[in-house]
Amino acid sequence: MTNSTLINCCIHILLALFMPPLLLGVIGKTKAAFAGRVGAPFLQPYFDIIRLLQKGTVFSTTTSWVFRAGPIVALATAAVAALLIPFGAHPSPISFEGDMILYAYLFALGRFFTMAAALDTGSSFEGMGSAREATYSCLAEPTLFFALITLSRLSGSYSLNGMLSNVSSGAWLYAGASLLLLIGGMFIVLLAENCRIPFDDPNTHLELTMIHEVMVLDHSGPAFAIIQYAASLKLFVLGAFFVQLALPFATGHPYLDWGVFIATMLLLAIVIGIVESVMARLRLVRVPQLLVAATILAAFSTLLVIR
């Protein structure tokens, strides 16, 4: 391993460690701006996490060890996923043929344990949340795979590195239509997987309508901090996938590329913020329909490239 790759590796890990909460901060700020408020500072999510880490913990009497495993697994999976996905033009530290499948399935692992932890509390609301989570994410699964197929067809490679680094502006020339469809589909999945509006509202106060937030009602203190951090990391990882798909800019100069990556990520956060502030939450019954629509978009894009 040469020197530069070692440095890039370190940068990669540091970014994955420290940048995710910032996205939440940016999103919050954007929404505040749209609402005409000043809003919390960009670093507010960091403050929250630190404060939560210092608090004590309350465990529900009904819970068992499964409840505690939930946040841990969620964070671990997100972290491993972060090591598999390339940031911008820079390849990921770990990469091998078929890693995209692992990437997709890691989220399933995290989800399984999050849902189990939620159901362990025996609260009907958390039950609702996990039931919804289970169904919606299993509807979102195929979309991701269609995206992977399209990318690996375009790039002729079977690993995330190859797929995403080869989707340069060149690909747009001959497969623009399918990439466009793909971006549409993937954006929906991005929002759904991270429980953003229009699927879910992270800071609503009506538990009956929530998905992700209602699953973590009973986590408190450090556990909740871990969950918050894991959620932001997940957003970060999926976002990295998306921006590399949507804004594949590469200057060729390594440090400039890092800058580009950070910039595009922040841009993505702003976009999400805009969407959240201009759109309303969907009715729950509409959610599956939107997800299926995303799947259809992605499927079309696949058919366009493999016919």
Partner 1 sequence: MYSTLQGACVDPALVAISAALVIGCAGIPGLFLRKPGLGQIFSTVATILAALAGLPSSLLLLFSHTTTTYSLDWGLPFGPCELVIDPLSAFFLLPVFLVSAAGSLFAVGYWPSAEHRTTERGLTFFYGLLSSSMAILLMARNGVFFLMVWEIMALSAYFLLVTEHEREDVRRAGTVYLIATHTGTAALFVYFSFLAAQTGSFMLPTAGSLSALSPVAAIIALAAFVGFGAKAGIMPLHIWLPSAHANAPSHVSAVMSGVMLKMGLYGIFRTLTFFHDPPLLWGAVLTVAGIVTALFGIAFAVAQRDLKRLLACSSIENIGIITTGLGVALLGVSSHTLPLVYLGLAGALLHILNHSLFKPLLFFGSGAIIHASGTREMNLMGGLAKGMPRVALFVLVGSVAICGIPPLNGFASEFLLYLGFFRQLTENSLSYLVLLAPLLALVGGLAVVAFSKLYSSVFLGTPRSPGAAHPHEAGLTMQLPLAVLALLCLLIGVVPQVALRLVYPAIASFYPGLASTEYPAEYGSILDKLSLVGVLLLTMAVVITLLWYWRLKKGRVTSAPTWGCGYQRGTARIQYGATAFSEIAVSVFSGIIRQKIRRPAMAGLFPGGSRCVDHPTETLLERIIAPLFTLAGISFAFLRRLQHGLMHVYMMYIFATLFILMLWAH
Binding mask 152-181 for partner 1 (x = CB under 8 A): xx--x-x-----------------------
Which of 91, 142, 248, 273 is close enough to bind partner 1 by CB under 8 A?
142
301 contributes a contact to partner 1 by CB under 8 A = no
Which of 11, 40, 102, 267 is close enough to bind partner 1 by CB under 8 A?
102
Which of 8, 30, 92, 137 is close enough to bind partner 1 by CB under 8 A?
137
The size of the interface with partner 1 (CB under 8 A), counted in residues, is: 82
- How far apart are CB 98 and partner 1 at their closest, in Å? 5
209 contributes a contact to partner 1 by CB under 8 A = no
Which CB atom, from 213 or from 257, has the smaller least distance to partner 1? 213
Which CB atom, from 153 or from 281, has the smaller least distance to partner 1? 153
Binding mask 42-61 for partner 1 (x = CB under 8 A): -----------xxxxxxxxx
Is the bond preceding residue 198 a cis peptide, omega within 30 degrees? yes
200 contributes a contact to partner 1 by CB under 8 A = no
Which CB atom, from 12 or from 31, has the smaller least distance to partner 1? 12
Site for partner 1 in 176-195 (CB under 8 A): none
Which of 16, 19, 24, 73 is close enough to bind partner 1 by CB under 8 A?
73
14 contributes a contact to partner 1 by CB under 8 A = no
- How far apart are CB 212 and partner 1 at their closest, in Å? 15
Pairwise CA distance, residues 118 & 186, whole Å: 27
13 contributes a contact to partner 1 by CB under 8 A = no
Pairwise CA distance, residues 160 & 296, whole Å: 23
Pairwise CA distance, residues 304 & 174, whole Å: 11
Which CB atom, from 69 or from 247, has the smaller least distance to partner 1? 69
Show the tokens assigned to 254: 């390594």
236 contributes a contact to partner 1 by CB under 8 A = no
What distances in angstroms separate CA 128 from CA 52, 57, 203, 211, one per listed residue? Answer: 25, 24, 17, 8
4 contributes a contact to partner 1 by CB under 8 A = no
Q: What angle do CA 43, 47, 52 make, to 5 degrees?
A: 150
Residues 6+ apart with CB under 8 A from 307: none
Strand partners, 77: none
Stretch that binds partner 1, among 6-14, 22-30, 98-106, 275-283 (CB under 8 A): 98-106
Strand partners, 163: none
What distances in angstroms separate CA 160 from CA 97, 145, 171, 176, 296, one per listed residue? Answer: 8, 12, 16, 20, 23
Show the tokens assigned to 239: 């976002």
Strand partners, 156: none
Name the residue type at position 36.
G
94 contributes a contact to partner 1 by CB under 8 A = yes
125 contributes a contact to partner 1 by CB under 8 A = yes
User: Residue 279, by phi and psi: left (phi above 0), alpha (psi -120 to 50) or beta?
Assistant: beta
Show the tokens assigned to 151: 């990318």
Determine how many CB atoms are found less than 10 A away from the CB of residue 41.
Answer: 12
